[in-house]
Chain A
Amino acid sequence: MPLLGEMKKNYRVLNQSKPRIDGVDKVTGRAHYAADLKFVDMVYGGCLRSGRSHAKVVKMDTSKAKSIPGVLAVVTADDMPKPKSCAGNAPYMYLTNEVKYAGDVVAIVCAETKPLVAEALAAIEVEYEDLPGVYTIRDAIKPGAPAVHPQYPDNVFTDSLYPIRKGDVEQGFAQADLIIEREYETQYIEHSYIEPEAVVCIQNPADGVMTVHSSSQNPFFTRRYVADVLGVGMNEVRVFQETLGGSFGGKEEGVGMVAARCAYLCRLVGRPVKMTFSREESFLESAKRHPFLLRYKAGVMKDGRIVAWEGTQIDNCGAYNNQTQFMNSRASIHSCGAYTIPNVKTDTYGVFTNNIHGGAMRGYSSPQLLWGQEQFIEEIAEELGMAPLEFRRINCLKDGTTNATGTVLDHVNIQEIMDYTTAKTDYQSKREAYKAQTSTKKRKGIGLAIAHRGCGLGAESPDASGAMAIANEDGSVLINTGLAENGQGLKTAFAQIAAEAIGVPYETIRFYGTDTQAIADSGMTVASRGTVMGAQSTRKVGFKLNEIMRANAVALGFFKDQAQVKGPEDIVLEDGFFHSVKQPETKVAFKDVCNASLWSGRQMAAYEWFMPPACIQDHHTGQGVAFPNYAYGCVVAEIEVDMETGYVDVQKVTASHDVGTAINPALVLGQIYGGILMGQGYAVTEEVEVSNGKVRNQNFENYIIPTAADMPEMDVNIFECDDDRGTFGAKSIGEPATEVVGAAIANAIYNATGKRIRENPANLERVLLGKKLR
């Protein structure tokens, strides 16, 4: 399966780096974000956070705050009819008197100005009674640990338990020549989007409709929270998604919570209300990437075959949760990596603690798992005395083999991608040479990691969507769908897909973004599903509009001079012109047919729904079909370690990904470049430092993300294939772009230093001392 360009796909609009629809607005600063919006009579809202990890509000006095001139409202949990949100089995609280983590909100205020909001928040007097808390995975699972939620007395989030039972793991271990066990642990990290959460709410005084302008990743998801807190129908809430300054999974529940509180204040004071988070608030309340405690045990034969794999994957859910029960499905499906192993037994479950909640973050468990698994694979190979590349070749997925869920796979190109990438980087010989280094100053390292990733939602939830396409009388086309632009380039990709399917130029298509009163919910824009599965309905409606307009062209007599044209099947529409199959040189403009269609009352718009074939797994064994197909990737990282300071300099990352069809190659590159840098941060510097639930670093001066100066040289190789199960053959790339980078860096560190980092990230102290300093 070839590199981009080697395979003739014969698309007219796809496979081209069309300019982003929203590109000019963004680079010129013209784009409006939710926090930029201003309305007449607009006032401001703010939140009072306890800062306590586990406590009870004993007494709260809001009288001083209320008496400040310009303060319009102070609301506590006692004032709010429904302070408990609709989200999840352990629901987040809009407001609470029982603090379960440091970001919990105990009061909200509304005032004429932002400084007055701050003054009012400072004037609220609260007396707390601190309660014993539980903070780490290890402590949470100890017998007798304090329970975070009474409905989960041992802190195990039972709804998030996903087992995999494939073959007979006991028999596999009995047969094995060698058994190896290891444990790995990952950290909390923050999405670090450039735009903190922001919402503006306005209520129509006549019909009562609450309009919410928000920085939502999923506007329909936000609508659910607003309707919930207001106790009104969802048709009375209208959410506009404003230009998003990044999300990566972080603006789901978090923005729902902000929007709900803001809408509540808006209705209460009868004026438009803006609520924006400071960076510190964003750190405190937005979900984090779940930390995982990963325990793996493998049984291998001397010839290198893995015959048994056992794993326990425990994630820290934090105080509330609405994601672990979905995320762990993916974590279980991918619990033995990109390898075919006959006997697998893994359990994946979350535990509650008095910490910030874990949530979706670019990868949805895979960066954590791969970071452990891809190091474990190398540790096994080393015990066997086998080169890790060869060991991977023996065990990696191939056509006709099965993964952890027992699905027989096809279109598997992982070995080809791995062989290409390791040859291009001279991986084998560099690795051997670096192993022999003895310098006590600086050493180089090279690391390899591979991954497979189920495309879209798979068995987690139906990957269905709807889309609308409208042709106007001037030949311009509007498309709309419930999927949302999150900065990844969805509007651009969808416009290209619509243009390809309809047969009109990309430039004639507009997609303005999501308004919940203009289109039906199409599920969330998550799981790298937008282009791959979410755009299936856009493709479908494009074909439908093509069919409708061809019928119009024939019925309206545009081909009456061509006797061979009997019906719409005899003409084609491409590049904005109709022509007959037999007489392609005689062209009829799309806009002329549109104009005639309007004035003759013919249909020029369509709405289509796409429902993929079902993915069905047995919940007790995980066996079945988990995803329609998988995307494959390989990353090689080259680094230099300062052996005297522990500083890891990531110098070059070579990333190769199978994207099926590169809808827009420039956007694919953008995803991968960003993904590499996020993966680097995950592996080397990023860690939300929590100490008994308190977050020590709440801003970017001490939460260290890589800067432009830290960016390594990047070499990206895009592979395509002819697997047609995604939209026009596309596969996921948003999450694959970042998921395996950290693991490759971790393996490179080992190559350089000879020491394994089994607790992420590999910061100065861990690399030098092999442990966290405190």
Chain B
Amino acid sequence: MQKLSYLKPESLQQALEYLNQYNAKVKPYAGGTDLMVQLREGSSRLKDVEYLMDLQDIAELRGIEVKDDCISIGAMTSHTQVNESEVLRRYVPFLSVASSTVGSTQIRNKGTVGGNICNASPAADTLSPFVSLNARLTVVSVDGAREVMVKDAMEKAGKLKLAANEMVTRIVIDRLDGYETAFIKLGRRKALAISRMNAAVAVKLEGGVIADVRIAPGCVFATPDRVECAEALVKGKAPSAALFEEAGKAVSEEMIKRTGIRWSTEYKKPVVEALVQRALCRACGLPED
């Protein structure tokens, strides 16, 4: 394993100064559940790293704040905290569900939502609910702060579009008052499994009609995104299994449009259709089978 120096800033300001000073040589350490594995594997993406910067003492990265139109989640909030948060369970239950499916109890206790996003794996379990929630990252450096949509933040698998002196402090999400949500994950086993695929949806029903909907499939695009054509297809219509089957097909068509036919498409196409349909049925209280 490569030899690294350890930094433990006590304030956000100090962390930002370290980042500004060492740039790409410093790697923020949140829960370490991905980072330590990558270090052990000698991952090439960490070859220039000389410092690990432990973020655990920085108060600005903690806490869940509910505002009138949004919720702000500190980047260092653990999956367990997200799962157990009363407010998140009330306003965005599918994010809570997604957090409960990450890895194992130990991983959920250490791993953070900020880390889950910044690790930039297209298979991250929380990405699809975040994308459905129009999540934006608060990105900060010594030069100031800016906001980046989660769906636009990823340059490619494993890399975010952040400057070397920037870091993510908070994730701000929509408050989905009056929406029903669902998250469905397909893994190879019931715990300690990465998503083979997943689907996150949020539906707002008004008078028996879908007034608003968000559909985000996971592990199907190079970078996470909602599928607007599928959303448009169901909006304004009454929920039904047949309608949601159509929505599933729209998602799989979009997947093929964006990624082309690949060796895995034969499997992914029917499965993503099924997951999207089921998630929509679950959110609308329709039977799934």
Contacts and interface: CB of A to CB of B under 8 A. Distances in A.
Interface in A219-239: none
A634 B188 CA distance: 27
A704 B188 contact: yes
Contact of A710 (B104, B189, B194, B270): B189
Contacts of B274: 644-645
18 contacts: A441-B288, A441-B289, A646-B267, A700-B192, A701-B194, A704-B193, A707-B189, A707-B190, A707-B191, A707-B192, A709-B189, A709-B191, A764-B188, A768-B270, A768-B271, A769-B267, A773-B267, A774-B263
Interface of B: 1, 37, 104, 186, 188-194, 196, 263-264, 266-267, 270-271, 274-275, 278, 288-289
A559 B271 CA distance: 82
A278 to B, nearest CB: 9
A764 B267 contact: yes
Interface in A687-708: 700-701, 704, 706-708
A45 B206 CA distance: 69
Contacts of A403: none
A20 interface: no
B271 A644 contact: yes
B179 to A, nearest CB: 25
B189 to A, nearest CB: 5
A118 B271 contact: no
A442 B190 contact: no
Interface of A is mostly: loop
A751 B191 CA distance: 26
Which of B1, B271, B278 has most A Cβ within 10 Å? B271
Contact of A706 (B189, B196, B278): B189
Interface string A754-774: 000000000111001100011
Interface of A: 115, 118, 439, 441-442, 644-647, 685, 700-701, 704, 706-710, 763-765, 768-769, 773-774
B251 to A, nearest CB: 14
Q: What are the 8 closest A-B residue pairs judged by CB atoms, nearest first?
A: A441-B289, A644-B274, A709-B190, A709-B191, A707-B191, A704-B188, A710-B190, A710-B189
A708 B191 contact: yes
Contacts of B104: 707
Contacts of A704: 188-189, 193
Given A704-B189, A704-B193, A707-B192, A773 B270 contact: no
Nearest to A122: B42
B264 A645 contact: no
Given A439-B289, A441-B289, A773-B264, A644 B270 contact: yes
B183 to A, nearest CB: 15
Contacts of A707: 104, 189-192
B186 A645 contact: yes
Contact of B196 (A118, A764, A774): A764
A439 B288 CA distance: 11
B117 to A, nearest CB: 20
Contacts of B1: 115, 118
B269 to A, nearest CB: 11
Contacts of B196: 764
Contact of A685 (B188, B263, B275, B289): B188
Contacts of A701: 37, 192, 194
A163 B184 CA distance: 52
A764 B189 contact: no
Nearest to A711: B190
Nearest to B197: A645
Contacts of B37: 701
A336 to B, nearest CB: 34
Given A763-B188, A764-B196, 12 more contacts: A441-B289, A646-B271, A701-B37, A701-B194, A704-B188, A706-B189, A707-B190, A708-B191, A710-B190, A764-B188, A764-B271, A773-B264
Nearest to A773: B267
B289 A764 contact: no
A442 B287 CA distance: 12
